[in-house]
Amino acid sequence: MNHALDRRPSKILVVDDRKENLFAMEKILRTLPCEVHTAYSGNEALSLTLRHDFALILLDVNMPEMDGFELAELLRSHEATQRIPIIFVTAINTEDKSVFKGYESGAVDYLFKPVDVDILLSKVKVFLELDRKKKELESIQSELERSNRSLTEFAQVVSHDLKNPLHVITGLSELLLLKYADGLGERGRASIEQIAASAQRMDRLITDLLSFAQVNALSTVYGLVDLNEVLHDVVSDLSSRLEQTGGTVERLDELPRLEADRTQMYQLFQNLLANSIKYHDKRRPPRILIGTIRLASPDVCCFYVEDNGIGMEEKELSVIFNPFTRLSNAQGFEGAGLGLATVRQIVQQHQGSIDVTSEPGVGTRFKLAFPVAQEAAGA
């Protein structure tokens, strides 16, 4: 990946009230690939931390006015400086590390005076390496965010540009059928109907591709979502297909309320239920059951979507969440193989999990789990 890595040298701040100590320390550190800054007092150090992004502060503990611990306390209390690693440099020559207890939460180390050059260099190198890794991660993340944004924009533009001519094809086909049906003859009419149906299929495919591409986009909008309401909307939008097949949807108990993206939760149920209707067994109308599963762990909420459809072969189950995957049972049914891939992306986006069990001729059950942190308190 070609990400713009921040290659500027890491900066280190050395704080000591004694000139000769600063001088000696600076001389040693100059041998490393870093920029060394110095401060004679806590106040000077504070003002430098506001102007520079330090990878590490080497901090003399024993200073007049503000000692090293007081300065560290102040640095930890400010958002901008609280994560700067600190190495305390102290004359306390004791094995008792309790002095440093209060600082265990942040990245902290210590060095005893007189400072051993090798130990100093090896400790500093560790922090420089950490800083390099942190910068690398930051640049990868911003590059990923940028490419995600441009991919989404690209998908939107492409889908818009592809749909326009399709709408012209559909419109003109309808016009031809409406105005010139008589002159077209039986075969002509059938051909035009086929053109219109193909255009509609392509329109659906573009919509599905777009929603698959958009799940990972940065536009996820989290809010309190009542899954019972979402399910209700999905069922009512699928009502004509349910009527055609004589299908029923039963919610056996209350679904959780989640901190989630509502549109994505709608897509999740829409895809699962549409599959249950589409892959129903011709010998019986589709019966879809939705219920919750009580788990021993209070940190996870779990529910399932179960149908009595044609089912899937055990050996094929491992691939169904891959994009553009359709199983042998899908012959004769329309689809792009994107529904479950979209569902899996949505689940991952919400830090959840999904698994499936199925038996040919009996039916399929999708089990979904989301961390309770996602579940609204008091729901």
Ligand X SMILES: Nc1ncnc2c1ncn2[C@@H]1O[C@H](COP(=O)(O)OP(=O)(O)OP(=O)(O)O)[C@@H](O)[C@H]1O
Q: Point out which residues bind Mg ion (CB under 5 A).
A: 275, 339
Give CA–CA dist 161/295, Å, rounded: 48
Residues in contact with ligand X, shown as a per-residue x/- string from 175 to 214 under the rule CB under 6 A: ---------------------------------x------
Among residues 63, 242, 255, 312, which is the contact residue for ligand X, using CB under 6 A? 312
Minimum CB–partner distance for residue 269 and ligand X (Å): 13
According to the binding rule CB under 6 A, does residue 329 interact with ligand X?
yes
Distances (CA, A) of 339 to 208, 260, 269, 274: 8, 19, 10, 9
Give CA–CA dist 352/372, Å, rounded: 10
SS3 at position 203? helix
Minimum CB–partner distance for residue 30 and ligand X (Å): 60
Give CA–CA dist 153/159, Å, rounded: 10
Say which residues have a Cβ less than 8 Å from residue 328's Cβ, sequence separation at least 6.
Answer: 313, 316
Pick the closer one to ligand X by CB: 11 or 326: 326
Give CA–CA dist 4/141, Å, rounded: 11
Q: Which does 279 bind (CB under 5 to 8 A by kind): Mg ion, ligand X, none?
A: ligand X
According to the binding rule CB under 6 A, does residue 347 interact with ligand X?
no
Minimum CB–partner distance for residue 241 and Mg ion (Å): 12
Interface stretch with ligand X, choices 27-35, 71-79, 255-263, 337-345 (CB under 6 A): 337-345
Q: What are 116's two structure tokens?
A: 């051993």
Give CA–CA dist 146/361, Å, rounded: 46
According to the binding rule CB under 6 A, does residue 166 interact with ligand X?
no
SS3 at position 285? coil
Among residues 75, 192, 310, 368, which is the contact residue for ligand X, using CB under 6 A? 310
Among residues 320, 347, 354, 368, which is the contact residue for ligand X, using CB under 6 A? 320
- Listed in order, strand segments (DSSP E) in 227-338 are 248-251, 257-261, 287-293, 300-307
Pick the closer one to Mg ion by CB: 104 or 334: 334
Q: What are 89's two structure tokens?
A: 């440099």
Restricting to residues 261-290, which ones interact with ligand X according to CB under 6 A? 271, 275-276, 279
For binding to ligand X (CB under 6 A), which residues are involved?
208, 271, 275-276, 279, 307, 309-312, 320, 325-327, 329-330, 335-341, 364
